[in-house]
Amino acid sequence: MKNPYDYINQNPERCQRMFGIGYQEFSDLIAVMVNQPATSKSPASATKVRINAPGGGCPPKLSEAEEVSLCLLYLRQYPTFELLGLHYGVCESTAHDIYHRWVLRLRHHLPSSWLEEVGDDPEQLALLQAILSEQELLVDSTEQARERPQDNEAQKACYSGKKKQHTFKNQIVSLNTGHDIVDVLVGEAGPRSDQSLLREQQANLSEEQVYGGDKGYQGVARTRTPMKKPRKRDLSADEKQANKEFSQGRIYIEHLIRVVKIWRIAQARFRLNSDHYDTAILVVCGLVRLRLGRYELGHLNQS
């Protein structure tokens, strides 16, 4: 049976539907990742008791390019590892190990936000803050269902009364056009308020930076929100028009969150161990930036 990597090489026009990114970005990413040496080991492999020496045993069935495509396919389509293994001609446990090995390497090389791309360089950070302060950034949060924790106190802490289920909460700060992720906060407990998350992210940017959010952000400093309907009084026609124009300006971050959720691992109930959630979603954010053309793969060769 032809595996998805061979299929896409023969049908490049279907790459974005299958893997979430265009064929050119897909090919460039695989080429760069294959040429990059592994920089770290997963916690599981670091503590694994070996019988054979490293490099011993049966040779791998898949090439490194096929292994990277397996990881990308899992993030985009989110099948079970058994089904994923059937597509690539490997067993369930092998597909599981390949995904966890390569997602860590993708995380190391794909910055999830503009702030992360700048890193700890004070000059670059100051320049970025100056650029961003000239516009109003957009902010919004989203919740994703997760498995119910077995511990009673832990499940109480992550139960979202709004969604009526246990959730992770993620928050994205974007440009006012929605064309890039400026900052992202992932894996927070579902009940955490939008206001507290934004106050935490505001510390990453300048004190003059302003934001635009929905009604959930009312009361947060330097944040513009729509007008709420007063008690026992309707909004005036001018106030309704102002709210409409504000919503039209905020729609771009809704579109950006929609693009993030194209990767089904960021949309469906998260089935893996909760410890792996942050890595998976941050890699997805990096792939979104790659899809939007906001990150140049040439930077990987310099890392």
pLDDT at 54: 67
Residue type, 134: E
Strands 159-160 and 165-174: antiparallel
Would you state the structure tokens that stand for residue 300, as one six-digit string? 């990987």
pLDDT digits (tens, 9 = 90+) for 166-196: 999 999 999 999 999 999 999 999 999 999 9
Would you state the structure tokens that stand for residue 226, as one six-digit string? 């729509």
pLDDT at 79: 97
pLDDT at 38: 62
pLDDT at 45: 61
Q: Which residues of the chain have pLDDT under 50?
A: 299-303
Q: Name which of 238, 279, 287 is nearest 21 in CA terms.
A: 287
Q: Where are the domains of the chain?
A: 4-46+60-109, 114-274
Would you state the structure tokens that stand for residue 100, as one six-digit string? 């966890």
CA dihedral sign of residues 149, 44, 68, 170: positive
pLDDT at 50: 72
pTM > 0.75: yes or no:
yes
pLDDT at 302: 42
CA atoms within 13 A of residue 92's CA, in its CB half-sphere: 5
> Per-residue b/e over 229-246, b at no fewer than 16 CB within 10 Å?
eeeeeeeeeeeeeebeee
pLDDT at 301: 43
